[in-house]
Amino acid sequence: MRLVRAIWRLLVGVKDALVLLLLLLFFGGLYTALSSRTPPVRDGVLTLDLNGSVVEQAAKPSAAAVLSGQGARLHEFALRDLVAALDAARTDDRVKAVALDLDGFLGGGQAAIADLGAAVGRVKASGKPVLAYATGYTDSGYQLASHASEIWLNPLGTVAIAGPGAQHLYYKGLLDKLGVTANVYRVGTYKSAVEPYIRNDMSPEAKQAAQSLGDVLLQDWREDVLRARPQAKVDAYLKDEPGAVAAAGGDLAVAARNAGLVDKLADRRAFDQQLARLGGADPRGKLAYKSIRLDSYLRDKVDRNPRGPIGVVTIAGMIVDGKAPLGTAGGDSIADAIHKGIADGGLKALVVRIDSPGGSVLASERIRQALLEAKDKRLPVVVSMGSVAASGGYWVSTPGDYVFAEPSTITGSIGVFGILPSFQGTLQKLGVGADGIRTTPLSGEPDLYHGPSPAAGQLIQAGVNSIYARFLGIVGAARHKAPADVDKIAQGRVWDGGTAHQLGLVDGFGGMDAAVAKAAELAHLGDERGVRYLERPASFREGVMAALAGGDDDSGTTDAFAALGAVPASEVERALAEVQQILAGPSIQARCLECGPVAAAPPRVDAEHRGLLALAAHWLWS
């Protein structure tokens, strides 16, 4: 009977695999059919339902996540797509207004939100109304909404502005309980990326650097909001939000309106009715107003594959060895894209857009060498730093002939570290021994059972020191400074864009438009500003998964605190992903802890949520 049951399970598994294959073929054909035609875009309101986060390069959902029903959990929107749609809407007579639905907004880097807000401001300046709506506004959401013509707030909602600052998890106590030793090798007084594994709190040096950075970022946030909405009493509200609520009789929404932070308190039905007055009622009755979907508008109005003479290289997310999907900076993937762009011909200049806290030293150097090869072919290289370009993210900026940053860019963090976990305490707790022989002092090293030997530790530290010295030399050559002078402003210290400019780590302020214009100038292209994106196109598999993951998240928002609660929940997932990245990553890394993750952690598919179809997809397409 046991054999019969095994055969039966095998047959069921084969059947399910065949069903999966047919489903994939069906949805693949459906995706191809739907994406091959552009649905007509009629008059109405361009609706930006930002249920997720804004990133430099959006990651694609995995097959397992989609088939387990978690594919749309943390949606990502590419900044360039949103900006392109808004800029096209300014002069498009079909677009009567723009709606920013921020109920599920998880934010983004401060520089990215400022760029997106500027695009919203350009639409408003063209005379078209831009209306923002949310039940709960946080820092990023309110910074974006402040650029709108009108800010709407649910009467049961709130504006909860906390300012820069966050709690990091520290694992020393947990590692001690587990008997795990984090063997750390680092250079840099401020290189605090390793501190969570050797301390239970921030060091004074790390806290000093983080406090200085946070103060500057808050000031930049204030200035951006007040430029867009001068009537907002931001300073008084920040100073005493509970007092403002008490003065409004305990009503959080009224307190926000009294402070000039919002214009109208109304539920979503009233908001939709106002959009219907601006853009017309929906004759199909699906919504109260005629809505233009973002994806349809992008297909109709924005060239997603331009072929201009200025190549744009995107370095977004953690820098990792080898190849990686979009949204993660794989050293080989980016280098191959640069080489292919050069081989295809027609390139006159490169713009390197960076939004990364760093990662693998080897992958960072792989990317840098590819950029140097482009320079050897007389292509000017201009760097555009986004929200974060630190540590390995700064390493890859060094080939730039000109480096742009934003005042709120987080950069610097010129330092190197390595972590090797060992498990001697764990084995002792379990009553397990480990023994063996050596033929040289380095036999069996690094020893994960007893910890690295002194000789191995000296060798690893020497490697870290050597890479740090190389980092100083690369930066010194790029910024025309002696390595000793670079060391004074390095040591792993993180800087805001304004201070980095004063220190000579960047050349000027500006976003992508400024970088493209500079590249055209250096390449003597006149008024030509056409770009092409040097990245691999989404694969057929990724396209199918994106189509299956599309659609609205029906979880809904119940109240202001439920809306705001999604942010810390996503932070926990990011923190857990960060631990895995640190401990499973390369032994020697150049990355920044204070910078924080630049994108939401991918949805984690738990084993109990993986049905047979999801597991089969994981086996077939991983």
Which has more confidence, 218 or 617? 218
Query: Is 33 within the bounds of a domain?
Result: yes
Going by pLDDT thresholds of 50, 70 and 90, the confidence category of residue 584 is: low
Candidates 331, 377, 329, 330; CA nearest to 350 is 377
- The CB-side HSE value for 384 (13 A sphere, CA atoms) comes to 23
**pLDDT tens for each residue of 65-111:** 555 455 444 689 999 999 999 999 999 999 999 999 999 999 999 99
286 vs 277: CA distance, rounded Å: 16
Among 171-175, 288-292, 368-372, 454-458, name the most confident range.
368-372
Residues near 545 by beta carbon (within 8 Å), at least 6 away in sequence? 60, 61, 62, 63, 66, 71
Name the least confident of 114-128, 415-429, 468-482, 507-521: 415-429
Going by pLDDT thresholds of 50, 70 and 90, the confidence category of residue 364 is: very high
Query: Is 369 within the bounds of a domain?
Result: no
What is the reported pTM?
Answer: 0.83
Label residues 444-461 b or e (16+ Cβ within 10 Å = b). Answer: bbbbbebbbbeebbebbe
Structure tokens at 244: 């403002």
pLDDT at 112 over 80: yes
CB 133 within 8 A of CB 142: no
Q: Which residues does the annotation mark as catalytic?
A: 191, 391
Query: Is 430 within the bounds of a domain?
Result: no
Query: Is 30 within the bounds of a domain?
Result: yes
Which has more confidence, 251 or 569? 251
What value does the mean pLDDT of the chain take?
84
The amino acid present at 517, given as its one-letter code, is A
Which has more confidence, 52 or 580? 52
**pLDDT tens for each residue of 205-227:** 888 888 999 999 999 999 999 99
Which has more confidence, 442 or 217? 217
Query: Is 91 within the bounds of a domain?
Result: yes
CB 534 within 8 A of CB 311: yes
Measured over the CA atoms of residue 493, residue 497, residue 501 and residue 505, the dihedral's sign is positive
84 vs 301: CA distance, rounded Å: 9
Q: In what order do the strands lie in the sheet with 150-159?
A: 264-265, 150-159, 130-137, 95-101, 44-49, 291-293
Query: Is 258 within the bounds of a domain?
Result: yes
244 vs 281: CA distance, rounded Å: 38
Stated as kind and residue range, the H or E segment containing 32 is helix 2-35
pLDDT at 615 over 50: no
Name the least confident of 105-109, 282-286, 371-375, 571-575: 571-575
pLDDT at 323 over 80: yes
135 vs 269: CA distance, rounded Å: 13
Alpha-carbon separation of residue 165 from 139, 148, 190, 211 (angstroms): 11, 26, 17, 8
Total number of domains in the chain: 1
Average of pLDDT values for 317-336?
93
pLDDT at 619 over 50: no
CB 475 within 8 A of CB 394: yes
CATH number at residue 562: 3.90.226.10
Alpha helices, DSSP H, located in 266-360: 268-279, 294-301, 331-344
Query: Is 288 within the bounds of a domain?
Result: yes
Alpha-carbon separation of residue 530 from 342, 349, 350, 512 (angstroms): 16, 11, 12, 12
Going by pLDDT thresholds of 50, 70 and 90, the confidence category of residue 19 is: low
Q: Give me the pLDDT at residue 542, please.
A: 53
| Packing angle, helices 612-621 and 2-35, rounded to 10 | 70
Q: Give me the pLDDT at residue 96, please.
A: 96
Going by pLDDT thresholds of 50, 70 and 90, the confidence category of residue 620 is: very low
pLDDT at 555 over 60: no
Domain that holds residue 561: 13-302+542-621
Query: Is 589 within the bounds of a domain?
Result: yes
Q: Give me the pLDDT at residue 227, please.
A: 96
Alpha-carbon separation of residue 614 from 59, 247, 440, 547, 619 (angstroms): 19, 53, 48, 16, 9
The amino acid present at 454, given as its one-letter code, is P
CB 358 within 8 A of CB 380: no
**Bridge-partner residues for 55, per DSSP?**
78
162 vs 610: CA distance, rounded Å: 37
pLDDT at 442 over 80: yes
Residue with tokens 């609520």: 245
Q: Give me the pLDDT at residue 561, please.
A: 56
pLDDT at 134 over 90: yes
CB 134 within 8 A of CB 564: no
Alpha helices, DSSP H, located in 126-171: 139-145
Q: Give me the pLDDT at residue 165, please.
A: 79
In the chain, what percentage of residues exceed pLDDT 70? 78
Alpha-carbon separation of residue 526 from 145, 308, 596 (angstroms): 36, 13, 39
76 vs 296: CA distance, rounded Å: 17
pLDDT at 613 over 50: no
pLDDT at 365 over 60: yes
Q: Give me the pLDDT at residue 605, please.
A: 38
pLDDT at 204 over 50: yes
